[in-house]
Amino acid sequence: TRRLRPVAALACAWAVGAWLAPAQAQTVMKIGYSTAKDSHYGVGSTVFCDEVAKGTGGRYSCQHFPNAALGGEREMIEAVQLGTQDLVNSSTGPLGNFVPEVKVVDIPFLFRDYDHARHTLDGPIGQDLLKKMHAKGLPGLAWTENGFRHMTNSKRPIVKATDAAGLKLRTMENKVHMEGYKTFGLLPTPMAWPEVFTALQQGTVDGQENPIPVILSAKFAQVQKHLSLTGHVYSPAVLIVSPAIWSKLSDADKKVFTEAAQKGAAAQRRKVNDDEANGIAQLKKDGMQVVEKVDGDSFRKAVAPAFANFAKEFGADRIAAIQAVR
């Protein structure tokens, strides 16, 4: 009997194997976020991408674009909607301009604490908002997290709302924030994230507000003297995939992506917790003067009248439903 030589046998097996299982297409997805790879966004995105690669046997993987390398959050969300970018891990800052129903979660002093925010977003209210995003061509996979926002500025310590009055403060491109911050007497100046460091450095604005993980990652201690732990608004974030990718996924792959996003979100939130616990000491070392005991009631009182408008715009019942979450 004739026997194939080993090399020929191998080649033959490879050819048959390749024919039975055609070479799998491999998709490398571009994922963008505002801060560094070792920040909360980078940590969450990395866990998500690793889980997707594992769960799809390497058919899907990521190329990371940290530090707003693909642009500001408004630009990235737009690109994901168009399919020219595959993934974004973004705050809700500009998201309400695409999906108006999301704006309700940007109301100042809406969430009591991290548990309240996370329970709301992981529960029926947050999951319903993800569906609203899908309907607008922005498939939201899971609520990640940016964190409670605190004010920094170059002029003076902010203890109460009247201390904030008159300061020119960079805000996100978010009407709900701007409306709320006006009640503190601040002069809100909307600006895309990539411009913020330079604007602070050159004094175009007096201050800005962001969660501790962002203040750390963006090295704002280099350009801002004062930090006040105002926690005036919770800043949700969400992992969004382009409809171009999503619509091509099998149901099994969709499940892999969704579960990966949930794991990424958990990791991102753990990093926010860590930064909240350890970051303030670091910022002090970096030279910031930190007001830890802020008169929160002075801010809550100031913003209370704006809630009438928020109720008109979003429905008093929807706001109350969020406030009622335990």
Residues forming the site for ligand EAX (CB under 6 A): 34, 73, 91, 93, 146, 172, 193, 210, 214, 235
177 Cβ contact partners less than 8 Å away, ≥ 6 residues apart:
93, 106, 108, 171, 188, 233
> What is the radius of gyration, based on Cα positions, of the chain?
23
Q: Smallest gap, in angstroms, from Cβ of residue 147 to ligand EAX?
A: 9
Name the strand (E) or helix (H) holding 233: strand 226-235
Answer yes or no: are the C-beta atoms of 55 and 235 closer than 8 Å.
no
Cβ distance to ligand EAX smaller for residue 235 or 242 = 235
Cβ distance to ligand EAX smaller for residue 60 or 184 = 184
Cβ distance to ligand EAX smaller for residue 256 or 288 = 288
Q: Smallest gap, in angstroms, from Cβ of residue 311 to ligand EAX?
A: 26
Q: In whole angstroms, what is the distance from residue 206 CA to residue 169 CA? A: 6
Rounded to whole angstroms, the maximal C-alpha distance in the chain is 96
Q: Smallest gap, in angstroms, from Cβ of residue 93 to ligand EAX?
A: 5
Q: Smallest gap, in angstroms, from Cβ of residue 200 to ligand EAX?
A: 12
Angle between helices 306-314 and 316-323 (to 10 degrees): 110
Nearest to 273 by CA among 213, 215, 197: 213
**Alpha carbon 110 to chain centroid, angstroms:** 18
Q: Is the dihedral of CA 62, 67, 70, 71 positive or negative?
A: positive
Cβ distance to ligand EAX smaller for residue 160 or 179 = 179
Cβ distance to ligand EAX smaller for residue 182 or 254 = 182
Cβ distance to ligand EAX smaller for residue 34 or 81 = 34
Cβ distance to ligand EAX smaller for residue 32 or 137 = 32
Q: In whole angstroms, what is the distance from residue 300 CA to residue 277 CA? A: 24
Q: In whole angstroms, what is the distance from residue 207 CA to residue 151 CA? A: 7
Token code pair at residue 255: 């499940």
